[in-house]
């Protein structure tokens, strides 16, 4: 089990912090400048009058999409994209146009464009794989093996955080030790630090622990969450050893709203958001605050001696805000987001050894921008950049184990990526390549004096796409060379995938490799009582992963059906696991793990009954690679998981029932002391009223309807059944 | 009607035959005074700390092992055995796991005071185990049969081992502060009858970790010292005068286990070098740290013990993979290897009842 808590249980001391409002504002200004400087200069005006040139790409992969229907109104202009995803309309009168694009298997999106005399108006649009058009179906499997959660599904699920929203995804385990506490995500049995999480392109993974805390991202802020399982370093760089999660807050403009909610555990929240046209594009923004007392009475498990106790120090106060703008800029399209999250919460610890004083503070500001330019001839240029500043503080004046601590970590991070693509020849449809640079600066009391203050990563990537035609087989490949400055080493990773459409059936096989260097915390946390860093740690590697997927989308009578099944095998070399030595001093160590398994899902939509049904099953075989035994599951990795969902929507009413199974798991690296599996069921009911130009919604959500108190991790009790009532009002759209 | 009578007649004859048989068997095999004592077999028990388990093996047939989980959390490093029962303090979990060694079952887990740090235990009788609470500077009597606890008894700082002998319990106080030695160790002496601390013995060594009573009736205590300081030592306490009568340095880097073997020999195990042999009658090393026994060629061990036949067992301290217990022959070569759990920390022996 990864016990990141130990990395925080360090001794008191360390250099004084150089934080403060002035310093923070200076940092932010510097990063803002960086973002602006990273954008290319103004392109020169071209000589073709009244033209519209565009490019449509897959929002997940960036792959150009051919055969996309493009409509431009007024005027009923119509065309479709070529093999490179490009299109061009000439002879347009100067004025404002609405561009609509649509492709089978994808959604529809629009953009308002101004065409000026003597200029080429350029537009780049991203199309997302389409979900079934029913809110209650929470997830859909996209064309490349990922799972996409759209805004409607996220909101309809009653999720409070991004972690809540992702719990229903097959193959995902969200580790939450208390309601309102950190939420770490494990994909296919890997450690949470093997999952790269990007929020609008900004890495959320903590530089010290390598883990991303999904509880810091409000579910309501998300327009889309994409879960990509597999060894994806070739596409996303290090940290994506087991998968990547892409969280996006910018999308279709949402009508303005104000919402408030209250419920069990003395929770209360307020939120507001909106969007609209701004300059030539559109903006959107939102703000949300949430507080939670979190205390409850519980029964101490018999295995820990039994008895009753009160769960205290489980409170949370958090605020978040984000805003974004997208629109044309300098012949291309710009999308930019900014966000801020702040929270303070108690860390109550284990039931048998509670921490009454342990606290966490987090402040994070982030900026990100992407600029896309469609080039003549079907090429494209894509520039992305981000900057972030994060301060975290963990403190406990009277910990149950070890010595008091008060550790602050200040992260400053910035990155930029440039990627270009050009159309190929013949079956070689497109070639692309790019370079990305990430720089992180870390100051932290929790780190030893030997910790490097800065980390610089440089990645080089090249990819190609081969296909005979849009409807035939497709081969995509990527290769990445990645230089890790801290170790001054190059790491390689690759991905080769073949997709074959057979009518409604899509078959896909892929072979990949990935790597992830140890985190600063693993190697350089300050030595404390019972814990010791391990500077000799090696990178986690997935040298060879094979995955096969089949997806079928169709109908049986009036029932819309989407079925998918995927299997994989990808052993992990050097998974970083915390283990004690003979002195009972814990350290992170490299352990080889065999991984294989699969996920299967089925979604049904019965329009006649206003009913949708879904279910999934996952098998995750993550076992220690030992000479004498190959069937000991890694600690706290459930081998089996399942979900069942049912939704009903009729008129203003909506009902949703979602059950989730967490399979049996071992708390230790041996097949003893097994914790039994358990089901939990969440229920939500909603009603919508329209009052003239205004609409109001109310939702009642019941988590753990049947009052199940089991938890994934032993000694972190759950309060069982809780209720929440939400009321939301805004203009009817 | 005839049939029914016939049945009655048959029953009477059967009853008579059974009675005669019973009389015959009693006359031949019973001594007529008391029931036979239960048949027992000696078992070895290994406590593995990382996977929280006990491995039980029959000494006469060490190829057959049984594993019992102690619970989902904890950091146990010590245990106490008596007859069919094992009591295992769970370290960071303030509780004692009680295991039935005969059936191989976790019987119950008895809670201790919060923040106990439960480490070190010894049976006072068939039902009461005294458990040390190093983080509370106390010990707690636990009724392992009823699952109840008595009042905590204040002792010295950081008690982490207990030895029971002659109606007294000797609590070895390591005198640690934040897990580092903060002065010489002490021994709190508790009268088992009254559960009162009657005296305290001052020791010379630091970080008293393990103790045992030798055939000479003296209490031998291994002091681990400070990690990295190579200042391990052996104290000898006269149980009549309750004084430290000898203190022998030279036990090197962090010795942690002790087994008092036959022929006035104390075997002290250390992770850093293996097993040293001390002659308790001569007060001298037979094999010191520089020439320590290296079980299986590995200069390290995490536990030592002797079975009734006087055979030495050692534990291989692998904390990342399932490890082994090693049985040694008369010349201390490994003759049997027994698979155990991850990070084995203690080995002990007891006689458990077996089915006739």
Angstrom distance (rounded) from CA A294 to CA A318: 13
Q: How confident is the model at residue A45 (pLDDT cuts 50, 70, 90)?
A: very low
The more confident residue out of A17 and A439 is A439
Q: Report the alpha-carbon angle B23-B27-B31, nearest 5.
A: 130
Paired with B85 in beta bridges are B82, B100
Of A303, A584, A715, which has the smallest distance from its Cβ to B77's Cβ?
A584
Instruction: Calculate the CA B203 to chain-centre distance.
Output: 23
Q: Which chain B residue has the Cα nearest residue A674? A: B72
Residue A537 C-alpha, separation from nearest chain B C-alpha, in angstroms: 15
Please give the Cα distance from A704 to A697 (Å, whole number): 23
- Cβ of B178 and A529 within 8 Å? yes
**Residue A117 CB burial class (10 angstroms; 0-12, 13-18, ≥19):** exposed
Q: Is the model more confident about A27 or about A58?
A: A58
A14-43 tens-digit pLDDT: 333 333 333 333 343 433 333 333 333 333
Q: Is the pLDDT of residue A559 over 80?
A: yes
Chain A with chain B: Cβ pairs closer than 8 A: 117
Which distant-in-sequence residues (6+ apart) come within 8 Å of A481 by Cβ? A459, A460, A490, A491, A492
Which of A120-129, A414-423, A424-433 comes out lowest in average pLDDT? Answer: A120-129
Does residue A582 belong to the interface with chain B, where contact is any CB pair within 8 Å?
yes
Percentage of residues in chain A with pLDDT exceeding 90?
Answer: 47
The residue with greater pLDDT, B134 or A74, is B134
**Does residue A62 have a pLDDT over 70?**
no
Residue with more model confidence, B4 or A106: A106
Binary contact (A672, B68; C-beta < 8 A) = yes
Quick check: A530 contacting B, CB < 8 Å? yes
CB contact under 8 A, A582 and B77: no
The H-or-E segment that residue A226 falls in is strand A224-229
B229 touches chain A (CB under 8 A): no
B72, A350: Cβ pair inside 8 Å?
no
- Of A253, A252, A234, A254, which is closest to residue A244 (Cα–Cα)? A234
The pLDDT, as a whole number, for residue A260 is: 96
Burial class for A646, CB neighbours closer than 10 Å (0-12, 13-18, 19+): middle
Give residue B5's pLDDT.
Answer: 36
Q: Is A469 on the interface with B (CB under 8 A)?
A: no
Using CA atoms, how far residue A637 sits from A213, A269, A289, A625, in Å, is 18, 33, 33, 15
Integer Cα distance of A675 and A664 in angstroms: 6
Of residues B48, B72, B179, nearest to A303 (C-beta):
B72
Strands A202-203 and A224-229: unpaired
Mention every residue, 6+ apart, whose C-beta is less than 8 A from residue B31. none
Residue A451 has pLDDT above 90, yes or no: no
Whose CA is closest to B205, among B230, B168, B238?
A: B230
User: What are the angstrom distances between the C-alpha of A367 and each of A278, A325, A389, A564?
Assistant: 19, 12, 9, 36
Q: How deeply is B226 buried, as exposed, middle or buried, from its count of CB atoms within 10 A (0-12, 13-18, 19+)?
A: middle
* Nearest neighbour of B51 by CB, restricted to A304, A353, A669: A669
pLDDT band at B262 (very low <50, low <70, confident <90, very high): confident
CA distance B133 to B181: 17
Residues of B in contact with A6 (CB under 8 A): none
pLDDT score of B73 more than 90: yes
Residue with tokens 């088992």: B192
Question: Which residue in B143, B176, B171 sits closest to B155, CA to CA?
Answer: B171
Q: Do B178 and A403 touch (CB under 8 A)?
A: yes
CA–CA distance, A510 with A493 (Å, rounded to integer): 13
pLDDT at A47 over 50: no
Stretch (H or E) spanning A521: helix A520-524
A363-370: average pLDDT: 93
Q: Which of residues 25-84 of B touch A (CB under 8 A)?
A: 48-53, 67-73, 75, 77
Higher pLDDT, B213 or A88: B213
- Residues sharing a CB contact under 8 Å with residue A355, sequence separation 6 or more, in sequence order: A313, A346, A347, A348, A349, A396, A399, A400
Could you give the CA distance from residue A710 to residue A273 in angstroms, rounded to a whole number?
36
Kindly calculate the radius of gyration of chain A based on its CA atoms and give it in whole angstroms: 25
B281 vs chain A: nearest CA distance in angstroms?
31
Place of tokens 């009277």: A398
Q: Which two tokens stand for residue A426?
A: 């013949």
Residue B3 has pLDDT above 70, yes or no: no
Per-residue confidence (pLDDT) for residue A25, from 0 to 100: 37
Q: How far apart are CA A704 and CA A713, in angstroms?
A: 17
> What pLDDT sits at residue A59?
67
Query: What pLDDT, in 10s, does the model give residues A135-164?
Result: 333 333 344 457 888 888 888 888 889 999
Give the mean pLDDT of chain B: 90
pLDDT for position A118: 59
- Identify how many contiguous H helices and E strands chain B contains and give both numbers: 1, 31
Q: Does A591 touch chain B if contact means CB atoms closer than 8 Å? A: yes
Q: Report the pLDDT value the prediction gives residue A52, as an integer from 0 to 100.
A: 79
* Whole-number pLDDT of residue B118: 97
Flag if A670 and B73 touch (Cβ within 8 Å): no
| Residue scoring higher pLDDT (B9 or B49) | B49
Summarised one tens digit per residue, pLDDT across range B98-151 is 999 999 999 999 999 999 999 999 999 999 999 999 999 999 999 999 999 999
Specify whether the CB–CB gap between A286 and A273 falls below 8 A.
yes
Q: Starting from the edge strand earliest in sequence, which strands make up the sheet with B95-100, in order?
A: B80-82, B85-89, B95-100, B105-111
Q: Per-residue pLDDT for A523 more than 70?
A: yes
pLDDT at residue B355 in the model: 77
Q: Is the pLDDT of residue B33 over 80?
A: no
**Pair A595, A189: CB distance under 8 Å:** yes
pLDDT at A233 over 60: yes
Alpha carbon B99 to its chain centroid, in Å, reads 13
pLDDT, tens digit, 9 for 90 and up, residues A601-620 = 999 988 788 899 999 999 99
Contact between A303 and B73 using a beta-carbon 8 Å cutoff: yes
- Average pLDDT, integer, range A107-133: 65
Reported as a pLDDT band with limits 50, 70 and 90, residue B71 is: very high
Q: pLDDT value at position A128?
A: 67
- Spatial contact of B346 and B46, defined as CB atoms under 8 Å apart: yes
Q: What is the pLDDT of residue A481?
A: 95
Q: Is A3 on the interface with B (CB under 8 A)?
A: no
- Which residues in chain A have Cβ-Cβ distances shorter than 8 Å to B271? 582-583
What tokens does A709 get?
């108190």
Search chain B and give the residue with CA nearest A670: B51
Question: In the predicted model, what is the mean pLDDT of residues A104-116?
Answer: 67
Rounded CA gap, A653 and A685, in Å? 7
Question: Whose CA is closest to A468, among A446, A498, A439, A493?
Answer: A498
The Cα A84–Cα A216 span in angstroms is 38
Closest alpha carbon within chain B to A716: B73
Instruction: Provide the β-strand partners of residue A409.
Output: A392, A444
**Residue located via tokens 């009160």:** A310
Alpha helices by DSSP H, A260-323 = none
- CB pair distance less than 8 Å for A582 and B319: yes
Q: What is the structure's pLDDT at A321?
A: 95
Q: Scanning the structure block, which residue is given the tokens 């077996």?
A: B354
Rounded average pLDDT over A39-60 = 54
Q: B48: Cβ–Cβ under 8 A, 6 or more apart, which residues?
A: A670, B54, B55, B323, B340, B341, B342, B343, B344, B345
B95 touches chain A (CB under 8 A): yes
Question: How many Å lie between the alpha carbon of B208 and the closest alpha carbon of chain A?
Answer: 15
Q: Could you give the CA distance from residue A385 to residue A395 in angstroms, rounded to a whole number? A: 33
Residue B242 pLDDT level (bands cut at 50, 70, 90) = very high
Could you give the CA distance from residue B271 to residue B299 in angstroms, rounded to a whole number? 8
Tokens of A251: 């999308």
The pLDDT of residue A113 is 73
**∠ at Cα B174 (B169, B176), nearest 5°?**
145
Mean pLDDT score of chain A? 83
pLDDT of A524 strictly over 50: yes
**Where do we find the tokens 């390549």?**
A433
Helices (H), A113-267: 151-156, 162-166, 233-236
Residues A676-733 have pLDDT tens digits of 999 999 999 999 999 888 999 999 999 999 999 999 999 999 999 999 999 999 987 6
**pLDDT surpasses 60 at B296:** yes
Contact A352 B95 (CB under 8 A): yes
Residue B67: closest CA among A673, A651, A187 = A673
Which pLDDT score, from 0 to 100, does residue A533 have? 82
Which of A581, A624, A675 lies closest to B72 in CB terms?
Answer: A675
Total Cβ atoms within 10 A of residue B284: 10
A24-28, B167-171, B330-334: which is most confident: B167-171
Residues 268-307 of B with CB under 8 A from A: 271, 300, 302
Q: Label residue A385 left, alpha or beta by phi (over 0 means left) and psi (-120 to 50 means alpha).
A: beta
Chain B hits for A400, Cβ within 8 Å: 115
> Residue B67 gets which letter from DSSP?
E
Contacts of A18 (CB under 8 A, 6+ apart): A443
- For tokens 């048998």, name the residue: A352
Contact A418, A543 (CB under 8 A): no
Check if the beta carbon of residue B322 is closer than 8 Å to that of residue B55.
no
Contact A352 B73 (CB under 8 A): yes
A264 pLDDT exceeds 70? yes
Chain B residues in contact with A357 (beta carbon < 8 A): none
Chain A residue with the nearest C-alpha to that of B70 = A673
Chain A residue numbers touching B300 (CB-CB < 8 A): 582
Q: Which sign does the torsion angle of CA B351, B352, B353, B355 carry?
A: negative
More confident residue, A505 or B157: B157
Residue A83's pLDDT is 60
- Range A671-688 burial, b when 16+ CB lie within 10 A, else e: bbbebebbebbbbbbbee
User: Among candidates A28, A10, A34, A25, which has minimal Cα distance to A451?
Assistant: A10
> If DSSP states are collapsed to H, E and C, what string results for A685-699?
EEEEEEECCEEEEEE
How far apart, in whole angstroms, are the C-alpha atoms of residue A535 and residue A352?
A: 32
Q: How far is B101 from chain A (nearest CA, A)?
A: 16
Handedness of CA A10, A14, A19, A23 (dihedral sign): negative
Percent of chain B with pLDDT over 70: 90
Contacts of A683 (CB under 8 A, 6+ apart): A655, A656, A657, A658, A701, A702, A705
In sequence order, what are the beta bridge partners of A158? Answer: none
Cβ A673–B115 below 8 Å, yes or no? no
- The residues that bridge with A202 in the sheet, in sequence order, are A199
Mutate: best of B320, B340, B341, partner A, most A CBs <10 A = B320
Pairing of strands B186-191, A405-423: unpaired
At A315 the pLDDT is 96
Q: From CA A285, how far away is CA A151, in angstroms rounded?
A: 15
Q: Which of A307, A582, A714 sits opposite B72 (nearest CB)?
A: A714
Q: Point out the residue among B227, B254, B342 whose CB comes nearest to the CB of A669.
A: B342
Q: What is the pLDDT of residue A18?
A: 31
């Amino acid at each position: 089990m990864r016990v990141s808590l130990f990395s925080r249980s360090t001794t008191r001391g360390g250099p004084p912090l150089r934080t403060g409002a002035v310093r923070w504002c200076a940092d932010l200004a510097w990063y803002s400048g960086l973002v602006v400087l990273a954008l290319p200069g103004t392109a020169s005006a071209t000589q073709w009058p009244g033209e519209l040139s565009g490019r449509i790409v897959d929002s997940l992969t960036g792959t150009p999409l051919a055969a996309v229907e493009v409509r431009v109104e007024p005027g009923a202009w119509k065309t479709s994209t070529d093999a490179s995803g490009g299109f061009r309309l000439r002879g347009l009168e100067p004025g404002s146009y609405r561009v609509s694009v649509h492709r089978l298997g994808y959604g529809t999106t629009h953009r308002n464009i101004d065409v000026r005399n003597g200029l080429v108006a350029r537009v780049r649009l991203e199309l997302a794989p389409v979900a079934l058009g029913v809110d209650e179906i929470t997830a859909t499997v996209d064309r490349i093996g990922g799972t996409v959660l759209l805004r409607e599904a996220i909101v309809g699920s009653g999720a409070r955080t991004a972690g809540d929203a992702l719990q229903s995804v097959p193959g995902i385990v969200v580790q939450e030790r208390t309601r309102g506490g950190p939420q770490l995500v494990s994909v296919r049995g890997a450690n949470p630090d093997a999952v790269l999480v990007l929020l609008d392109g900004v890495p959320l993974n903590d530089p010290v622990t390598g883990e991303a805390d999904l509880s810091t991202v409000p579910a309501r802020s998300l327009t889309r969450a994409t879960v990509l399982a597999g060894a994806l370093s070739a596409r996303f760089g290090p940290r994506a050893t087991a998968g990547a999660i892409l969280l996006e807050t910018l999308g279709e403009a949402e009508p303005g709203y104000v919402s408030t909610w209250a419920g069990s555990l003395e929770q209360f929240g307020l939120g507001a958001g909106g969007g609209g046209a701004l300059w030539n594009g559109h903006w959107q923004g939102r703000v949300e605050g949430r507080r939670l007392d979190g205390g409850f009475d519980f029964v101490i498990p018999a295995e820990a001696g039994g008895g009753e106790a009160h769960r205290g120090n489980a409170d949370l106060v958090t605020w978040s805000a984000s805003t974004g703008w997208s629109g044309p800029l300098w012949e291309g399209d710009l999308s930019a987001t900014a966000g801020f999250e702040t929270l303070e919460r108690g860390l109550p610890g284990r039931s048998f050894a509670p921490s009454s004083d342990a606290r966490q503070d987090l402040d994070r500001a982030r900026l990100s921008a992407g600029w896309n330019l469609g080039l003549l001839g079907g090429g494209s240029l894509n520039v992305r950049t981000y900057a972030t500043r994060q301060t975290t503080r963990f403190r406990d004046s009277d910990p149950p184990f070890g010595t008091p601590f008060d550790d602050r970590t200040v992260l400053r991070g910035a990155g930029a990526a440039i990627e270009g693509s050009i159309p190929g020849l013949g079956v070689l449809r497109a070639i692309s390549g790019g370079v990305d640079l990430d720089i992180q600066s870390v100051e932290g009391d929790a780190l030893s004096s030997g910790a490097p203050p800065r980390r610089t990563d440089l990645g080089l990537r090249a990819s190609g796409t081969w296909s005979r035609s849009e409807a035939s087989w497709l081969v995509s490949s990527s290769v990445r060379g990645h230089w890790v400055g801290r170790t001054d080493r190059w790491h390689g990773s690759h991905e080769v995938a073949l997709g074959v459409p057979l009518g409604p059936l899509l078959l896909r096989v892929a072979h990949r490799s990935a790597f992830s260097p140890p985190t600063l915390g693993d190697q350089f946390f300050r030595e404390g009582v019972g814990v010791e860093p391990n500077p000799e740690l090696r990178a986690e590697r997935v040298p060879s992963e094979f995955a096969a997927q089949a997806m079928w989308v169709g109908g049986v009578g009036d029932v819309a059906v989407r079925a998918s099944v995927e299997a994989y095998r990808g052993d992990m070399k050097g998974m970083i696991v915390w283990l004690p030595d003979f002195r009972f001093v814990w350290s992170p160590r490299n352990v080889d793990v065999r991984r294989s398994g699969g996920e299967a899902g089925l979604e049904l939509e019965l329009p006649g009954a206003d009913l949708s049904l879904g279910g999934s099953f996952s098998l995750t075989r993550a076992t220690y690679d030992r000479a004498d035994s190959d069937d000991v599951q890694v600690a706290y990795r459930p081998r089996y998981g399942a979900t069942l969902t049912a939704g009903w929507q009729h008129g203003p009413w909506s009902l949703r029932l979602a059950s989730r199974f967490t399979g049996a798991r071992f708390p230790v690296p041996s097949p003893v002391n097994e914790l039994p599996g358990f089901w939990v069921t969440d229920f939500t009911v909603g009603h919508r009223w329209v009052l003239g130009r205004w609409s109001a919604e109310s939702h009642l959500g019941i988590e753990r309807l049947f009052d199940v108190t089991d938890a994934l991790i032993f000694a972190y009790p759950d309060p069982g059944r809780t209720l929440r009532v939400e009321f939301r009002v805004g203009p009817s759209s | 009607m005839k049939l029914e009578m016939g049945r009655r007649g048959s029953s009477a004859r059967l009853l008579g035959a059974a009675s005669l048989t019973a009389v015959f068997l009693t006359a031949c095999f019973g001594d007529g005074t008391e029931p036979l004592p239960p048949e027992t077999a000696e078992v070895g028990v290994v406590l593995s700390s990382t996977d929280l388990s006990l491995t039980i093996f029959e000494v006469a047939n060490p190829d057959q092992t049984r594993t019992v989980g102690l619970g989902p959390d904890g950091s146990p490093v010590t245990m106490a055995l008596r007859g069919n029962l094992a009591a295992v303090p769970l370290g960071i979990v303030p509780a004692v796991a009680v295991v039935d060694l005969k059936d191989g079952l976790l019987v119950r887990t008895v809670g201790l005071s919060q923040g106990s740090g439960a480490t070190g235990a010894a049976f006072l009788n068939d039902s009461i185990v005294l458990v040390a609470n190093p983080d509370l500077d106390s010990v707690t009597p636990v009724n392992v049969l009823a699952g109840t606890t008595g009042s905590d008894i204040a002792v010295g700082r950081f008690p982490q081992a207990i030895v029971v002998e002659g109606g007294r319990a000797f609590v070895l106080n390591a005198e640690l502060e934040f897990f580092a030695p903060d002065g010489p160790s002490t021994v709190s002496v508790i009268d088992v009858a009254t559960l009162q601390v009657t005296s305290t013995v001052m020791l010379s060594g630091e970080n008293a970790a393990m103790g045992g009573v030798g055939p000479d009736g003296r209490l031998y205590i291994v002091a681990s010292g400070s990690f990295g300081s190579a200042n391990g030592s052996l104290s000898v306490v006269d149980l009549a005068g309750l004084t430290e009568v000898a203190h022998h340095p030279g036990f090197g880097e962090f010795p942690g286990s002790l087994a008092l073997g036959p022929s006035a020999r104390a075997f002290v195990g250390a992770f850093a070098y293996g097993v040293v042999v001390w002659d308790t009658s001569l007060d001298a090393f037979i094999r010191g740290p520089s020439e320590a026994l290296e079980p299986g060629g590995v200069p390290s061990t995490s536990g030592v013990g002797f079975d009734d036949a006087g055979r030495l067992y050692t534990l291989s301290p692998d904390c990342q993979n399932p490890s082994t217990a090693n049985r040694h022959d008369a010349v201390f070569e490994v003759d049997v290897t027994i698979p155990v759990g991850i990070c084995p920390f203690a080995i002990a022996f007891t006689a458990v009842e077996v089915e006739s």
